[in-house]
């Protein structure tokens, strides 16, 4: 585990009493509580790695923090421009604005517009912020270079890339806009040791630059290299 970061100021992201359940409509509307009473505060310069066994709710928590799942109750306070926006109460327009400027997400899987060139896929988050196309593509090229994706792939769509190549495209796309908060789901799952080390270094650099990171990592060396602390996610899979 990396050295702990002194906590000062207000959290970049905070949850209070967060709860989420799912209803199985095909099973007589059984309701399963996955998250209950989650209180978490993450500050700038921290990397909090979610801890717990498979099925504990780590992925559900990450997706709820991004607004992919709507929480049943509680609050998710995301700090943007000095104000705390409650993601649970936010409108779709507010959620999109948070994602554009403040709340980044790096998933395991690349989901992008088919047939678009890789370099444009990576550059797109900067273009959405109004950055000049040439500057956005230059930054995309810099990240793809660091992630050791061969130049010959940059103008090709990534649909036929290997899993590891697609994951590196996903990481470049997730890092390019410099979001103050990063949600990261298994960033090295499909990578070999050399590429894993590159990704770990990029995430360490992001944290040291003041990003607040919440991550799911199952590979022990990656967990140890990234985490400033661990947050246990309790198993809450109970039928109601």
The Cα–Cα gap between 89 and 237 comes to 25
In CATH, what is the architecture of 13-239? 3-Layer(aba) Sandwich (3.40)
Instruction: State yes or no: pLDDT of 30 exceeds 80.
Output: no
Least confident of 12-16, 114-118, 197-201, 226-230: 114-118
Higher local confidence (pLDDT), 13 or 8: 13
Residue 199 has a pLDDT of 96
Q: Distance from CA of residue 191 to its chain's centroid? A: 17
Residue 8 has a pLDDT of 58
Phi first, then psi: what are they for 203, rounded to 5°?
Answer: -70, -35
Instruction: State yes or no: pLDDT of 28 exceeds 90.
Output: no
3-class SS of residue 221: helix
* For range 97-103, the mean pLDDT: 96
Instruction: State yes or no: pLDDT of 161 exceeds 80.
Output: yes
Give the number of residues written for the chain: 240
Q: How confident is the model at residue 84 (pLDDT cuts 50, 70, 90)?
A: very high
Q: How confident is the model at residue 79 (pLDDT cuts 50, 70, 90)?
A: very high
3-class SS of residue 185: strand
Exposure string of 15-37, with b = 16+ CB inside 10 Å and e = fewer, is bbebbbbeeeeeeeeeeebbbbe
User: Over the chain, what is the mean pLDDT?
Assistant: 90
Residue 238 has a pLDDT of 46
Instruction: State yes or no: pLDDT of 237 exceeds 60.
Output: no
* Global confidence as pTM: 0.91
Q: How confident is the model at residue 22 (pLDDT cuts 50, 70, 90)?
A: confident
Per-residue tokens: 29: 């509307």
Residue 3 has a pLDDT of 59
């Amino acid at each position: 585990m990396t050295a702990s970061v002194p906590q000062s100021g207000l959290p970049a992201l905070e949850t209070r009493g967060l709860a989420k359940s799912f209803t199985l409509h095909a099973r007589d509307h059984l309701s399963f509580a996955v998250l209950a009473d989650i209180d978490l505060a993450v500050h700038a310069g921290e990397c909090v790695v979610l801890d717990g066994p498979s099925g504990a709710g780590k992925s559900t928590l990450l997706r709820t923090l991004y607004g992919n799942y709507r929480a049943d109750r509680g609050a998710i306070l995301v700090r943007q421009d000095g104000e705390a926006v409650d993601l649970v109460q936010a409108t779709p327009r507010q959620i999109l604005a948070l994602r554009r400027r403040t709340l980044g997400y790096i998933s395991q899987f690349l989901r992008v517009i088919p047939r678009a060139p890789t370099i444009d896929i990576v550059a797109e988050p900067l273009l959405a912020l109004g950055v000049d196309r040439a500057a956005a593509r230059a930054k995309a090229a810099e990240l793809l270079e660091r992630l050791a994706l061969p130049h010959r792939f940059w103008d090709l769509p990534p649909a036929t890339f290997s899993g590891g190549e697609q994951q590196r495209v996903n990481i470049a796309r997730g890092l390019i806009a410099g979001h103050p908060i990063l949600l990261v789901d298994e960033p090295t799952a499909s990578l070999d040791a050399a590429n894993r080390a590159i990704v770990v270094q990029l995430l360490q650099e992001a944290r040291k630059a003041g990003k607040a990171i919440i991550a799911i990592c199952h590979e022990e060396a990656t967990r140890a290299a990234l985490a400033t602390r661990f947050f246990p996610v309790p198993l809450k899979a109970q039928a109601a």
